[in-house]
Chains A and B, each alone.
Chain A
C-alpha cells in the first residue's frame, strides 16, 4: 500500500468518530414563525423590548439587505439558501404559560446542556484562574457569570440585549461603528435580525482580572443564529476574550451569521480567541452549519493592539475574515489562524489588515490543513494607505494537504500606496512529510498518532497563542477532527 493510500484509509477511519457535541436538548423553546420580512424584524425588536432607534437601525439594515446580492467571490460552493425557510428567533428561556421569567431560574435542562458541554454556569465550579461566561443558547443569553465581581472594577460584561437596556448610550455610540450594516450581505442580514451575543466594556486603565468568554450553542431546529458581539476597550485597558460554539448533528444546514465589533482605544489591548466547532456535517457532507461571520476591530487609539486567534475545525462552510483597521498611530494587529477541514467541509477564511495610521504593524500567521474531500482557502488583504508611513506587515500562510482528494488555496492581496511601507508575504503548500512520518513510525509511533503529532506541531505557533484551557481543547479538537480525516 502506498503512503497516500494509507493516508486516505486513515482519513476515512478517522472520520468515523462522531461529533461529540451533536446531542440535542429537549427544552421548551419559543420559536417565531419561519420567514423574514419587516414584521419579523419588528417582532424580534419588540420581543427584546428595544428602543425605537434600534428598531430603526434594524429596519434600515433589512431594507438595505433586500437590495444586496449574495457574495460570490469566495472559493466556496454555497447551495442556495432559502431565507424564508428559517426562523430568526428562538428563546429557550421562556417557561410554558408562566409569568415573567427570572434570570436566576434557568431551566435545569439548559443548565445540564452547558454542563455536558463543559461550560460551568455556576461560579463556584469555574475553572481555576477564573473564566467569566456568557452562555447563549439559540437567540438568548441564559446566564452571565461573575457579573458582580467584574462590575466592582467597572467592567461591563453582559448580553447585548441587556446592554441595550442598561447601557444604551454606550451601545448606541459603538454599535455599527466598526461594521456598518452596509458592509456586506451577511452583515446587513445580521444587523436586521441580530439577537444575543455579548457586550464588553473595559473602563480606562483597567486590566480585566479574568478571561471573559461567550459560549454559543445552537439547539432549536429550523433556526438560524445571528449573534452580535461588541467589545469596547477604553484607554490603557486590557482584556482577553474567548469564544466557543457547538451545535447538534442534523441533516439540515443551519445558518449562523454573526457580527463581532471591537473598538480599541489609546494604548488598550484586546486578545480575541475563537475555537469554532459548529457541527461540520457528516462524512457524506450532509448537514452542518453555514458559518458566515463578519469580525472586525477598529484600532482607533494610538499604540492600541488587537490580536485575533482562531482555531476553526467546525462548520460545513466557513466564510470569515477577522480584520483589523489600524487607524491609530503605532497600532498593531495580529491574526493567528488554524483552519482544519475534513470530509466535505469548505472554508474560505483569512484576514484584512488595513493600515491607515503611521508606524502601524501587522502580523498574519495562517495554517490551513485540508483532508478528505474538503476545500480550504486562505484569503487575505494587506492594504497600506497613502499616509501609513512606516507601515510593516509580515504574512505567512502555510497549507498542509492530507490525502489526494482535498484542495488548499491561497489568495493574498496586497495594495501598497506608501513608499516607506514594507510588506512581506510568504506561502507554502505541501503534503505531510513522509520523512517525518517515517521517523515517527520508526520510533514506534503508529501512523495515526504520528499524523496527529505532526499536525499539532505544525499548528503550534497558533495554538500557543490561546489561553491554556482553550489550547488543550483546541489540540484535542485537531486530533479528533483529524482522526476522522487524517490525524
Chain B
C-alpha cells in the first residue's frame, strides 16, 4: 500500500525533512501526519474521486528529494519564455526546489516574492499566520501528505493597497530522469486592496516520468484582486495533482484559469470560500486531450456570505482514447442571500474511444438565489461544418476553426490582451500538431 509507504518514509526521514525546511513549515507536520493516517489518499470510492484514482497514482515507487539534491538544470538556458510585456520577473522551480529569479527586481516595497523556504525563514510571522490555515487536511486528499513532505515552494505577499500591474510568472519544470515526486507548496497573500496576476507554467521535458503534487493557498482580503493562470504543458508521462484553496473577504475578486494543454494524468481541485459579502469568484478551464491522457477538474464553491457571485466555465475537447471528468459543486449556505451562481461544462468527444463524465451539482439552503448549471456532451456542429465547406474551407480547417471557437470562449475571459493572444496561439498549436510546445521555452523543444 502506497499510503503506508509514505507514512513510513515520513517517520524514517522526519529529521531529514525538517533539516531541509524551515521551523514554520515543520510546525505543521505533526497534525498533517495525524490527518494523513486518519484520511489517507482518496480512492475511487470517495464521491469526489469517482473517475480518478489518486491513490493508485501515488502507487509507483516515486522518489522524493528529501536530501535537497540540486537538480542539474540551468534555468537561464532552459527558460526563454518571453511573452511580450508580460513579466518583469520570472521565477523558476525545478522539481520541488525554488531555483532563482530572472529579470529586473522592480516589485514595489513590501512585496515578498520568491522561495517559500527562504521567506518562511526571513519572515516567519507572516508565513506562520497563513501557511496551512486554509488547506483542508481533514478529508481524503493531498493536503495532509503535501504538508508532511513540503520543504520549499513559492510565495507572494502583497501588502495593503499595492497593485502589481504586470503578471508574476512562476515556471516549474520536471526534468529528472528517475521517477520522481515533487512536493510543491504555494502561498499567496493579498492584503486589503492589493492586486496580483500570477502565471504558473507547469512543464516537464518529454520522456521524464514524474509526478507533481502542489497545494496552493490563497488569502484574498477586502477589496483585493487576484488572477491565477495555471498552464499545464507537460508530457504523456507526467502525473499532476493540484489542490488550490481560496478564501475571499468582502468585495474581493478572484479569477482562476486551469488550462490543461498537454498532460499525462491530471487532477485539479479548486476549493473556494466566500468569507465576506459582495465578492466575486470565477474559475474556468479547458482541457485538450488525446492518446491515453486524462484530465479531471473538480471545483467546490462555498457561498458562506451574502451577495457573492460565482461563475464557472469548463470546456473539454477529447480525442483518441482520452478520458475527461468534471465535477463542480456549488454550496449556498443558509442565510447566504442574493447569491448568484452560474456553472457551465461543455464537452466535445471527437472519437468513439474518448469518454467524458460530468457532474455539476447544486446544494442550496437559501431562498433568495439565482443559481444555474448546464452541461453538455456533443460534437462539432455539422451544419456549420457544411456551411464552411461550401465557402471553400476544407473539413480539417473547418473543424479546427470550430474547436478554436469552442475553446476560445474560455480564453476570451482572460482580461490581459498579451496573455490572451499567447494562450490562443498555444491552443491552436496544440490542436494543429497534437502536441503543444511553448516555443519560448528552450527545454520544451
A412 to B371, CA, bound (A): 15
Residue ID in chain B nearest A400 by CB atoms = B367
Q: Is the CB of A427 within 8 A of B351?
A: no
Chain A residues with CB under 8 Å of B354's CB are 419
A422 to B364, CA, bound (A): 28
Q: Is the CB of B377 within 8 A of A427?
A: no
B201 on the A face (CB < 8 A): no
The residue that B377 contacts in the complex, of A4, A404, A406, A414, with Cβ under 8 A, is A414
Stretch at the interface among A58-66, A230-238, A428-436: A428-436
CB distance from B324 to the nearest CB of A (A): 10
A257-305 contacts to B, CB under 8 A, are none
B366-377 interface code vs A (CB 8 A; 1 in, 0 out):
111111111111
Q: Is the CB of A407 within 8 A of B365?
A: yes
Q: How big is chain B's contact interface, by range?
A: 35 or more
Chain A residues with CB under 8 Å of B350's CB are 419
Among A384, A417, A419, A425, which residue has the most Cβ atoms of chain B within 10 A?
A419
A419 to B335, CA, bound (A): 42
A399 on the B face (CB < 8 A): yes
Q: Is the CB of A414 within 8 A of B375?
A: yes
B356 on the A face (CB < 8 A): yes
Asked if A421 meets B377 with Cβ closer than 8 Å, knowing A4-B368, A429-B369, A431-B367, the reply is yes
Asked if A413 meets B357 with Cβ closer than 8 Å, knowing A422-B379, A425-B375, A426-B374, the reply is yes
Residue ID in chain B nearest A378 by CB atoms = B362
Q: Is the CB of B360 within 8 A of A412?
A: yes
Residue ID in chain B nearest A426 by CB atoms = B374
A408 on the B face (CB < 8 A): yes
Q: Is the CB of B377 within 8 A of A416?
A: yes
Residue ID in chain B nearest A411 by CB atoms = B361
Q: Is the CB of B364 within 8 A of A419?
A: no
Chain A residues with CB under 8 Å of B166's CB are none
The residue that A427 contacts in the complex, of B47, B334, B358, B362, with Cβ under 8 A, is B362
A418 to B356, CA, bound (A): 9
Q: Is the CB of B378 within 8 A of A415?
A: no
A399 to B349, CA, bound (A): 30
Q: Is the CB of B359 within 8 A of A419?
A: no
The residue that B376 contacts in the complex, of A405, A409, A422, A429, with Cβ under 8 A, is A422
Q: Is the CB of A429 within 8 A of B360?
A: no
Q: Is the interface of A mostly helix, strand, loop or mixed?
A: strand
Q: Is the CB of B368 within 8 A of A404?
A: yes
CB distance from A71 to the nearest CB of B (A): 13
Chain B residues with CB under 8 Å of A413's CB are 357-359
A421 to B379, CA, bound (A): 8
The residue that B362 contacts in the complex, of A406, A418, A429, with Cβ under 8 A, is A429
A41 to B142, CA, bound (A): 48
B337 on the A face (CB < 8 A): yes
A379-404 contacts to B, CB under 8 A, are 384, 386, 399, 401-404
CB distance from B102 to the nearest CB of A (A): 44
Chain A residues with CB under 8 Å of B355's CB are 415-417
A419 to B319, CA, bound (A): 10
Q: Is the CB of B363 within 8 A of A407?
A: yes
A409 to B352, CA, bound (A): 33
Residue ID in chain A nearest B331 by CB atoms = A409
Chain A residues with CB under 8 Å of B364's CB are 399, 401, 407-409, 429
CB distance from B74 to the nearest CB of A (A): 44
Q: Is the CB of B357 within 8 A of A415?
A: yes
A431 to B338, CA, bound (A): 10
A31 on the B face (CB < 8 A): no
Q: Is the CB of B376 within 8 A of A424?
A: yes
Chain A residues with CB under 8 Å of B366's CB are 401, 404
The residue that B47 contacts in the complex, of A73, A402, A415, A429, with Cβ under 8 A, is A73
Q: Is the CB of B357 within 8 A of A406?
A: no
A409 to B354, CA, bound (A): 30
Q: Is the CB of B363 within 8 A of A405?
A: no
A410 on the B face (CB < 8 A): yes
A422 to B374, CA, bound (A): 13
The residue that A419 contacts in the complex, of B349, B368, B373, with Cβ under 8 A, is B349
CB distance from B77 to the nearest CB of A (A): 43
Q: Is the CB of B357 within 8 A of A419?
A: no
B42-63 interface code vs A (CB 8 A; 1 in, 0 out):
0000010000000000000000
Residue ID in chain A nearest B363 by CB atoms = A409
A423 on the B face (CB < 8 A): yes
Q: Is the CB of A405 within 8 A of B369?
A: no
Chain B residues with CB under 8 Å of A405's CB are 334
Chain A residues with CB under 8 Å of B377's CB are 384, 414, 416, 421-423
A414 to B378, CA, bound (A): 12
Chain A residues with CB under 8 Å of B358's CB are 413-414, 416
Residue ID in chain A nearest B365 by CB atoms = A407
A65-81 contacts to B, CB under 8 A, are 73, 75
A429 to B330, CA, bound (A): 12
Chain B residues with CB under 8 Å of A408's CB are 362, 364
Q: Is the CB of B374 within 8 A of A427?
A: yes
Residue ID in chain B nearest A398 by CB atoms = B372
A161 to B370, CA, bound (A): 50
Q: Is the CB of A419 within 8 A of B360?
A: no
Q: Is the CB of B357 within 8 A of A410?
A: no
Q: Is the CB of A404 within 8 A of B367?
A: yes
A428 to B330, CA, bound (A): 12
A422-458 interface code vs B (CB 8 A; 1 in, 0 out):
1111111111000000000000000000000000000
CB distance from A408 to the nearest CB of B (A): 5
A424 to B367, CA, bound (A): 26
Chain B residues with CB under 8 Å of A403's CB are 367
The residue that A416 contacts in the complex, of B334, B349, B362, B372, with Cβ under 8 A, is B349
Residue ID in chain A nearest B373 by CB atoms = A427
Q: Is the CB of B351 within 8 A of A419?
A: yes
CB distance from B302 to the nearest CB of A (A): 15
Chain B residues with CB under 8 Å of A386's CB are 352
Asked if A426 meets B372 with Cβ closer than 8 Å, knowing A403-B367, A410-B361, A417-B355, the reply is yes
Asked if A419 meets B352 with Cβ closer than 8 Å, knowing A399-B364, A411-B359, the reply is yes
A420 on the B face (CB < 8 A): yes
A401 to B371, CA, bound (A): 11
Residue ID in chain B nearest A375 by CB atoms = B365
A211 to B355, CA, bound (A): 42
Q: Is the CB of B374 within 8 A of A429?
A: no
Asked if A4 meets B357 with Cβ closer than 8 Å, knowing A425-B374, A427-B373, the reply is no
Among B335, B362, B363, which residue has the most Cβ atoms of chain A within 10 A?
B362
A290-326 interface code vs B (CB 8 A; 1 in, 0 out):
0000000000000000000000000000000000000
CB distance from A25 to the nearest CB of B (A): 40
Q: Is the CB of A425 within 8 A of B367?
A: no
Asked if A416 meets B374 with Cβ closer than 8 Å, knowing A404-B367, A406-B367, the reply is no
Chain B residues with CB under 8 Å of A428's CB are 370-372
CB distance from A375 to the nearest CB of B (A): 9
Residue ID in chain A nearest B375 by CB atoms = A425
Q: Is the CB of A409 within 8 A of B360?
A: no
Chain A residues with CB under 8 Å of B371's CB are 428-430
Q: Is the CB of B362 within 8 A of A431?
A: no
Asked if A401 meets B369 with Cβ closer than 8 Å, knowing A409-B362, A422-B378, A423-B378, the reply is yes
Among B337, B354, B367, which residue has the most Cβ atoms of chain A within 10 A?
B367
The residue that A409 contacts in the complex, of B347, B361, B374, with Cβ under 8 A, is B361
A402 to B369, CA, bound (A): 11
Residue ID in chain A nearest B339 by CB atoms = A429
Q: Is the CB of A412 within 8 A of B356?
A: no
Additional A-B contacts beyond A416-B349, A417-B355 (5; CB < 8 A): A399-B362, A414-B356, A416-B347, A430-B370, A430-B371
Show 29 residue pairs from A and B whose CB-CB distance is below 8 angstroms, ordered by the A residue.
Answer: A73-B47, A75-B363, A399-B364, A401-B364, A402-B367, A404-B367, A409-B364, A412-B359, A412-B360, A413-B358, A414-B375, A416-B356, A416-B357, A419-B379, A421-B377, A421-B378, A422-B376, A424-B376, A425-B360, A425-B373, A425-B374, A426-B373, A426-B374, A428-B371, A428-B372, A429-B364, A430-B369, A430-B371, A431-B367
7 nearest A-B pairs in the assembled complex, by CB-CB distance = A401-B367, A419-B349, A416-B377, A429-B371, A410-B362, A422-B378, A431-B367
